[in-house]
Amino acid sequence: MNNEAKYLGKAINYPKHYAPEILVPVPRHLNREIYGLADNNLPFTGYDIWHAYELSFLTQKGMPVTGLLKIIYPADSPNIVESKSLKLYLNSFNMERYGSNKDEGLNIVINTITEDLEKMLKTDVKALFFKGHEPSGSDFGHYAILEELPEMQEVEFSQYQEAPELLTTEKETSENKIKAGTHLLRSNCKVTFQPDWGSAFIHLKGTQIPEKAGLLKYLVSIRNENHFHEEICEMIYKRLWDQFSPDELMVSCIYTRRGGIDICPVRTNLPELMPVNLIHENRLMSKLLRQ
């Protein structure tokens, strides 16, 4: 926990100059061991997608350049980056000068960010800059939103600590697939305990599928769990994987922006189930309710 809590929950002065040393790596295995996930035998592939809305620097002539930075790195990296350290790191570019013009400066800054993150995460990283926020499309528009189903208005909710026993099998159905989501996702930072809001989307196909009310009750039960975003996504995935032994499974958690950054992990057993716009390096997925 010491490394994770280096900056979280503490008053920190923003660096006035470029500061790669401020980045904090967090080993993935620390949380995976709780759920029986071994780094060398993961039941999924996936990515962590970050959108940083406040990237800015100066050209050599002093003109500010600002826009959105999209960062993508794979779920099999040994480390994740702690979010506040990334915010501080990106802000360390704000008053630095790069390039004789915007394009030259962007090339220097993006290459620098990519190299620094690859060194810290020990994996390949894609870092892309967007001048505008025009979305490419929705990846989840065809998913049923569970809390909007009429029958959910009669469901009683009482558990707010993660309760996998709420996941029950749909008994009276001819379907072998469910594509469902919720905008009721809430968990808490494992260090500061501040709430993190978001949406979760699940594609599951197999001989057993979750009963919708039980699935929503389970997702609501995460409300008081204290984990990082990536860990919540993997927890949901592992619970569904163990309970239903599906042929196809994809879990994506789209968290709200906090401190100028949102984190959107996705995990799946089949690469073709990846949300196209979310993981594509040159696209921006349409924003959701809590973004």
Strand, coil or helix: 6: coil
- 97 in Cβ contact with 65 (< 8 Å): no
Residues whose CB falls within 8 Å of the CB of residue 15, separated by 6 or more in sequence, listed in order: 22, 88, 89, 91, 92
- List of residues 6+ apart from 122 with CB closer than 8 A: 77, 78, 79
Residue 29: Cβ-neighbour burial (10 angstroms; 0-12, 13-18, 19+):
exposed
Number of other CB atoms surrounding residue 43 within 10 Å: 16
Residue 95 region by backbone torsions, left for phi larger than 0, else alpha for psi between -120 and 50, else beta? alpha
From 116, 196, 262, 264, the catalytic residue: 196
DSSP characters over 116-150: HHHHHHTS--EEEEESS----B-SSTTSEEGGGSG
Per annotation, catalytic residue among 48, 189, 233, 253: 189
Annotated active-site residue 233? The verdict is no
Q: Which residue numbers are catalytic?
A: 189, 196
